[in-house]
Amino acid sequence: MAATQLNQTRTPPAFRFGQLVVHPVYGLCRIARIEQAHGRNGVEPCYVFNMGSVSNPVKVLMPAAQAAAAGLRRPMTRPEAERILQVLRTPSSPLEPRSKEQLDEVSTRLNGSDMLQVAETIRDLTAAGVKGWSGQTDGAFGNHRRSEQVLLSQALSRLIDELAHVQCVSRKRIETEIRRCLGRTRRAVSKPAEQDAEHHRRMSSIIQDHA
């Protein structure tokens, strides 16, 4: 009883019933209701999300007090959406996780609430040749590269949903724009590598001619 009374004096939930939010795992979704549930600190208000399908519904709870730390947030604004697309257009170094620790770091970045960091990670993984679009994934599920593909695919799906909502356009249109942005990124990253390869071939030819 004391725990219940203590929790009732806490700061009210930051989000309200019916509000559209971005869940760190499920992406864009709506708070179905707010209910009192038993947690580690006793009875506390929790956000309820109805996920899954009609035939296989899934009830997801998130304690309101832990929502900010978990990454629950409001959808991005239009200016923020434009910055995200700009990040995706900007060339950078390919990101190639080679250990479990590095893969864990990639997972943390892709599932975080900093959308600029999410966009940068998507861009850099794509530049490294990781396939994240539907129908592209290959290899065994337990394979290291397969794990990268799954993480990238999930992050791309969440980002597309949110950008489509913010910009009031179709999901297909946003997907096409992101593909265009990432395509330019890959070409810009690969061009110096191609130039280095050509330089190496020319030098090898010169060395052979003087041998």
pLDDT tens by residue, 96-146: 777 788 888 999 999 988 999 999 999 999 988 888 775 544 444 445 567
Q: Give 49's contacts (C-beta < 8 A, 6+ positions apart).
A: 23, 26, 29, 30, 31, 32, 59, 60, 61, 62
Distance CA 161, CA 118 (A): 14
Query: Could you report the per-residue pLDDT of 156-211, keeping only the tens digit for each?
Result: 999 999 999 999 999 999 999 999 988 865 554 444 444 444 444 554 454 455 45
